Chains A and B, each alone.
Chain A
């Protein structure tokens, strides 16, 4: 791991080189009321004063709808065109948060636990993650309760810590990160003095003990707490779609006559149709059974089965929820 320093001009130079090099750069941009990821070509477009974006940037490796393959029928023959790895562009995800970078580790676990998913892996290979450590947090954040933190470098290729009034500390963590830095090597300087990152990080209080939650969850399947917590849930997909680790998907067919393509698109375990069988039976018939599934999947099943956390504490689900199903509140009450 290498630590470097970069000043404001250097940052600008480096950014220009990235764009010139042909990478597609995605960064948080201020919209009408919300900050969200968009493709940018200038450093000035990037939003500066915000805690968290509305959506995660998982769509860079797991698009909201993608074509898995396409086919053309002619008589008895079928021509199939598989996913084209060459069509995927090089991407740089700029100014993501440590919780977002940690989310990629969970997604990689899901898409590789038995079958190595080609579209996902191809996209991830061509993506460089540049995270910025957090100097601010709000009441929805709880990264420190799920083994994360405002300065955690897990999953990042590069982490940048802005130093107020000066430039920034740049931690180069992987070979991908190193390659990105080399695009503009003279923008960087060696560190003249030790920089204590902790001084610039937000203070995110720990709200619950993860081990306690896991313990309580392992015996909570039949508890009435699910019913109580889920009464106001509307069963929309907002929480799953903004979440950096949710990867449930649906397979659909986009067919017209003799040609078509197989689509993979986002889905949510909160939808009532998610587990509906063709026989009409639904093993998760009520919103409470679906809410239970969501929590258990993220905090119990995923850690047990693929040794990855299903939640990074980014708080987006709670911010996006129309009826304030605050996951932090629910977990804290379960832990008690």
Chain B
């Protein structure tokens, strides 16, 4: 019995929480698991294969129910939670945040602030395969980049899995669902696909936490997280680290903002 399982069992038995949102083993991969009964806690696991971002469920009140909910959060999930807190989307009393260290110790956070402090010490690490693709794109000239993205984005069929998996896409009415006026075509076409992905990247400017859930969710394997990743990099360089700003990068400004392209 792992320490996580023990902890979950005691939380449920004592009635401290009505459910524990964590991971379980699925078919060939791990998947999110909503544990409501103490008898089911044995199914909870936590390892390097747990990559789904559970923060996406925290903005769905019909899923959470009316009591306190425990969340077994990985570092990417915690980053998303931190951003949601900054945007006032989560009530502190509703959640009990847990994580598991490399030594399999369970850490329980007393609140959002403690979680933020814990995160402050952890660096965002880029996977080598990702970095290779980024370097490849940086090395291309404009026409090559256009050809690359046109090819990738043309195959998109607008399933919106990227939006559904992103914890920060919580708008009850997405811009693509507005039809008066219809800003972005909801159907799949090379132009509509490109406009959708550009729009999504811009709406995530300064908010994306780099969890990669969008790319993982894409059934066609389109590397859309590279768009948001590139934005994050640029914003960090131009305006300072995303997590330290008190407001969103696009809703604040500094008189000293520098650019070299406005005449």
Contact = CB atoms under 8 A, between A and B. Distances in A.
Interface of A: 31-34, 36, 54-55, 64-65, 139-140, 231-232, 234-238, 240-242, 250, 252-254, 263, 265-266, 268, 271, 273, 286-287, 318, 320, 322-324, 326, 329
Interface residues of B, number: 36
A236 B164 contact: yes
Contact of B26 (A54, A240, A271, A326): A326
Contacts of B188: 64-65, 265-266
A257 to B, nearest CB: 13
A329 B27 contact: yes
Contacts of A238: 159, 161, 217, 219
B108 interface: no
Contacts of A231: 32, 34, 63
A77 to B, nearest CB: 25
Given A273-B177, A326-B26, A33 B221 contact: yes
Give the secondary structure class of A's interface: loop
Interface in B180-203: 182, 185-189
B62 interface: yes
B164 A241 contact: no
B220 A139 contact: no
Q: Which 3 pairs show the lowest CB-CB distances between chains A and B? A: A265-B187, A236-B164, A236-B161
Contacts of B155: 36
A146 B186 CA distance: 34
B160 interface: yes
Nearest to B25: A324
A234 B33 contact: no
B118 interface: no
B26 to A, nearest CB: 4
A34 B189 CA distance: 21
B157 A286 contact: no
Contacts of A324: 26-27, 29-31
Given A241-B159, A273-B177, A324-B31, A234 B186 contact: no
B163 interface: yes
